[in-house]
């Protein structure tokens, strides 16, 4: 899912006007500049923040992607908190868009959502309002005909776009864009690839037209690919060290308590595991093994 998230944020970063105009229905929106997306006191970054001109006024545009793991209620509170923090920092009105990645076909494409969190008379209650964008309300054909070109790589998020045919049509449309450089087209194809892969479009089918050579022209694809390789190497090292530690302690103690075995397997810090293994290989007797086991049990989770 990390490649999916990174792809979405890449596309938003490079095509903010396409997102904001299509998601608001206002083609006059002008993106003036990005603003910092980090809100330290909130605990996590927003997916995108921009200073825009809308209706002759300067406004902060705040974009969030609604993923599966977050409830509508949690999302609304997150949006409200981000709005307050952005308003406090930028001293400008805040326009929020939430792109619902997993909406329903029968729901509207655009609609307003409101969180009422204040007490008192209904008309006087404090509230947070955001614009919801539901790509599932569109077909692949509608996205490719109605949406700005910067959003074509999201075809697999439409009602029927998570298919070989939907991805093929988006691929052909992106390849035909003469306004993009070859590297930019490759980046858009990489986003198309990762989003379609996350939506379970068969990789074998996509490789018929989106080749490895084409994807390797994309700086985005290479960055994600290299990160994946590095993480794979780290995971392999963790598995080797945990296996070694379990074998040594089992040999010295005869058996391991399930809690100790689970504690070792849930540690993902390579340096910590290497230190434990270095200590384990020097164990001379069962008493030393028990001391190491107690140390592991009491160690904070990485």
pLDDT tens readout for residues 16-59: 999 999 999 999 999 999 998 887 665 678 899 999 998 889 99
Q: What is the SS3 assignment for 116-140?
A: ECCCCCHHHCCEEEEEEEEHHHCCH
C-alpha separations of 143 from 100, 157, 187, 206, 290 in Å: 15, 10, 19, 19, 63
Q: Is 149 left (phi over 0), alpha (psi -120 to 50) or beta?
A: alpha
Domains, the chain = 1-137 (3.40.1350), 139-217 (no CATH), 222-298 (no CATH)
CA dihedral 20, 26, 30, 31 (to 10 degrees): -10
Q: Please state the pTM of the whole predicted model.
A: 0.73
pLDDT tens readout for residues 105-153: 999 999 999 988 887 777 777 889 999 999 999 999 999 999 999 999 9
Q: Decide: 194 and 51 in contact? Cβ < 8 Å.
A: no
């Amino acid at each position: 899912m990390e490649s999916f998230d990174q792809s979405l944020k890449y596309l938003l970063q490079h095509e903010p006007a396409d997102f904001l105009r299509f998601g608001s229905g206002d083609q006059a929106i002008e993106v003036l500049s990005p603003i910092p997306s980090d809100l330290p006191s909130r605990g996590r970054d927003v997916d995108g923040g921009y200073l825009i001109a809308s209706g002759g006024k300067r406004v902060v545009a705040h974009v969030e992607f609604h993923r599966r793991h977050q409830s509508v209620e949690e999302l609304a509170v997150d949006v409200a908190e981000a709005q307050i923090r952005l308003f406090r920092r930028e001293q400008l009105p805040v326009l929020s868009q939430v792109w619902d990645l997993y909406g329903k076909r029968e729901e509207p494409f655009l609609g307003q959502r409101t969180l009422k969190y204040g007490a008192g008379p209904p008309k006087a209650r404090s509230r947070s309002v955001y614009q919801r964008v539901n790509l599932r309300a569109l077909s692949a054909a509608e996205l490719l005909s109605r949406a700005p070109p910067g959003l074509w790589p999201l075809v697999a998020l439409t009602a029927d776009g998570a298919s070989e045919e939907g991805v093929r049509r988006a691929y052909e449309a992106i390849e035909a864009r003469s306004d993009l450089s070859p590297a930019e087209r490759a980046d858009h194809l990489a986003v198309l690839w990762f989003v379609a892969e996350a939506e379970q479009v068969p990789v074998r089918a996509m490789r018929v037209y989106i080749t490895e050579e084409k994807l390797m022209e994309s700086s985005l694809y290479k960055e994600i690919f290299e990160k994946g390789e590095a993480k794979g190497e780290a995971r392999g090292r963790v598995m080797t060290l945990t296996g070694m530690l379990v074998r040594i302690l089992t040999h010295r103690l005869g058996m391991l308590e399930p809690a100790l075995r689970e504690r070792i397997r849930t540690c993902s810090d390579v340096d910590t595991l290497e230190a434990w293994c270095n200590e384990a290989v020097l164990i001379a007797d069962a008493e030393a093994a028990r001391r190491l086991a107690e140390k592991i049990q009491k160690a904070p989770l990485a």
